[in-house]
Amino acid sequence: MKNEVELVVYGAEVLCPSCVNLPSSKEQYEWLQAAISRKYGTEGINYKYIDIYNPPEEKPYEEFAERVIEEDMFYPVVLVEDEIVGEGNPRLKTVYKALEERGFEPQSS
């Protein structure tokens, strides 16, 4: 593995209007974390969940949370480093691809 990677999920407690039949942002965050940990282990990936309506007072998180609201993005929005890899209903395949591009390899069973 090359180094530490940050995976950030931006979401809200309220479901986005177009995501009515999907799990909540927090549930999808937990699901992603579990699926990624099973495939790549727990080392090197730092997970962060950001509530778009109550982001931490750290500039990059605050600014992106505002962007999600202003641009009417479907949430959760998943970022690996600063790359958007999922929006609304994130696909594991896309998230896995972004991690592998950053040097992560699936663990052998």
Q: What is the pLDDT of residues 61-77, one digit of tens each?
A: 999 999 999 998 988 99
Written as one letter, the residue type at 28 is Q
Tokens encoding 5: 């990677």
Nearest in space to 61 (alpha carbons), one of 49, 76, 71: 49
Q: What does the block give as tokens for 28?
A: 């999808």
Q: Domain segments of the chain: what residues? A: 5-101
Q: State pTM to two decimals.
A: 0.91
Q: Give the helix/strand (H/E) hosting 101.
A: helix 92-101
The list of the chain residues with pLDDT below 70 reads 1-2, 16-20, 109
5-101 CATH: 3.40.30.30
**Could you give the angle at the alpha carbon of 48 between the alpha carbons of 22 and 36, nearest 5°?**
65
